[in-house]
Amino acid sequence: MVDLFDKINNNFGPIGQHHEWSHGYFSFPQLEGPIGPRMTFKGKELLVWSLNNYLGLANHPEVRETDTKATADFGLAYPMGARMMSGDSKYHVQLEQGLASFVGKEAGFLLNYGYQGMVSIIDALVDRNDVIVYDAESHACIIDGVRLHMGKRFVYQHNDMESCEKQLVRATKLARANGGSVLLITEGVFGMSGAQGKLKEIVELKKKYGFRLLVDDAHGFGTMGPTGAGTHEEQGCIEEVDVYFGTFAKSMAGIGAFVASQRNIITYLKYNMRSQTFAKSLPMAMVVGLLKRLDMLQNRPELREKLWEVARALQTGLRERGFDIGNTDTMVTPVFLKGDLNEATALTRDLRETYGVFCSIVVYPVIPKGLIILRLIPTATHSLEDVRLTLDAFSAVSEKLAEGYYKQLEAATAGSTTL
């Protein structure tokens, strides 16, 4: 028999295999200083485009003040225990009510992490007779939730409604035969590409197939729709989204998440989500801080307007300069380039070291070989001058890439361990 640890020693996994040269620079980079568009990386100030601090609340003085006071009042331990046992409070309930009414649902339930929360929502909603239909580019937490499912699942090609309907036909047939139901899962805004899930079209299919719709709106909550309520508001189908999920890790600049739906569905989830029943509830200081954030999200539309001003300037500028930014129709801004892993790492290093721009890089095996995605996340705290500097930097590195400059550098830089 192979020793488990020997196996791991010989294979650190698809991303981990690069850890010796990537750790601390490309993976696990340590950004220092106050959260904002300018942070320090390895002693140097860089223009940062990789934080989902969409509305700039992370370091907003009013938010910081509330967080500080709440921490002084309650500490970080309070309340102790899971919500069901000893970890509930009036603040938790108040936040749930505020969130639910904001996103147009009867009731809400807080989740101590978005990832586990989503896994558990899926696990709790379906049983072995039910069938799941989901988008192929779903976030890992949806994939993991689907993995737990004991019944059948059908995946449809990303945002492809023909493929979606085909899978719905199969799923409906099977569910009928089993005496089960169908749950369709999509994201509101796909975090990697910036494309919106086609909620409006999916909702149309509900009339024909009678399934229930769960939307992971991690990126859309607080950013999309006339009031920032989410992608379902943006697409005019608030009612028809049956179960709505949002996280606090992005526009709310906190931690945790929530699910909102009809009252009975939330009551059921409260008593049947294993990741919440058997885990500690959100700290009070965070919950009080989240109440402040929700208030700002609802009453400071200028933050969202600023985010969109920056996003539009960035995306228009990139398109005008001939960059391929795919089919984003949200603030998430991917830049697609062609190159191998070594070129991607040399280019990213050049962006950081020469041009002072820090953004996230996505390469194979997350995306196909030969493709590089540099993902830019605009926020309300960026300025139009930041956009201009970044556009110039991107023009410079893409010219170098086209000339083969990074190919020559690969031996000297990409594999370097002196990061």
Ligand X SMILES: Cc1ncc(COP(=O)(O)O)c(C=O)c1O
Given the rule CB under 6 A, which residues bind ligand X? 113-115, 118, 139, 141, 187, 191, 216, 218, 247, 249, 257
State in angstroms the smallest separation of the CB of 187 from ligand X.
5
Full DSSP string of 158-179 = TT-HHHHHHHHHHHHHHHHHHT
- Residue 222 or 317: the one with the smaller Cβ distance to ligand X is 222
* Residue 250 beta carbon to ligand X: minimum distance, rounded to whole angstroms: 7
- For 262-406, where are the E strands, in sequence order? 333-338, 357-358, 360-362, 371-376
- Residue number, 183 or 257, with CB nearest to ligand X: 257
DSSP 3-state assignment of 48? strand
Report helix, strand or coil for 85: coil
Sign of CA pseudo-dihedral 96, 123, 232, 106: negative
| Minimum gap (Å) between residue 310 Cβ and ligand X | 20
Kindly report the number of other CB atoms within 10 A of residue 368's CB atom. Answer: 8
Least distance to ligand X from the beta carbon of 297, Å? 16
Contact present, 102 and 128 (Cβ < 8 Å) = no
One-letter amino acid identity for 305? E
Q: Residue 183 Cβ, how far from ligand X at the closest point, in Å?
A: 16
CB of 108 to ligand X, least distance (A): 15
Find the residue with minimal CB distance to ligand X.
Answer: 114
The nearer residue to ligand X, 37 or 114, going by C-beta atoms, is 114
Closest CB 206 distance from ligand X, rounded Å? 22
Which of 373, 327, 377, 104 lies closest to 215 in space, CA to CA? 104
Our CB check for ligand X shows the closer of 123 and 216 to be 216
Neighbours of 404 (CB within 10 A): 11
Query: Where do we find the tokens 């028809």?
Result: 240
Q: Which is nearer to ligand X, 255 or 396 (CB)?
A: 255
Q: How far is the CB of 195 from ligand X (least distance, A)?
A: 12
Q: How far is the CA of 114 from the CAs of 202, 248, 262, 266, in angstroms?
A: 23, 8, 20, 16
- Tally: H helices and E strands in the chain: 16, 14
> How far is the CA of 18 from the CAs of 89, 342, 362, in angstroms?
45, 11, 13
Phi-psi region of 394 (alpha: psi -120 to 50; beta: other; left: phi over 0): alpha
User: Is the distance from CB of 335 to CB of 376 less than 8 angstroms?
Assistant: yes
Comparing CB distances to ligand X, the nearer of 141 and 285 is 141
Find out whether the peptide bond into 79 is cis, omega within 30 degrees of 0: yes
Q: For ligand X, give the closer residue by CB, 26 or 245.
A: 245
152 vs 153 by CB, closer to ligand X? 153
Select 141 or 237, whichever has its Cβ closest to ligand X: 141
DSSP 8-state code for residue 18: G
Q: How is residue 22 written in tokens?
A: 């990537």
Whole-number minimum distance, CB 20 to ligand X, in Å? 26
Q: Which is nearer to ligand X, 217 or 343 (CB)?
A: 217
**Nearer of residues 115 and 156 to ligand X, judged by Cβ:** 115
CB of 205 to ligand X, least distance (A): 21
3-state helix, strand, coil in the chain (%, to 5): 45, 15, 40
Q: How many CB atoms lie within 10 A of CB 12?
A: 12
Q: Give me the long-range contacts of 318-323 (CB less than 8 A, separation at least 24).
A: 318/391, 318/394, 321/391, 321/394, 321/395, 323/394, 323/398
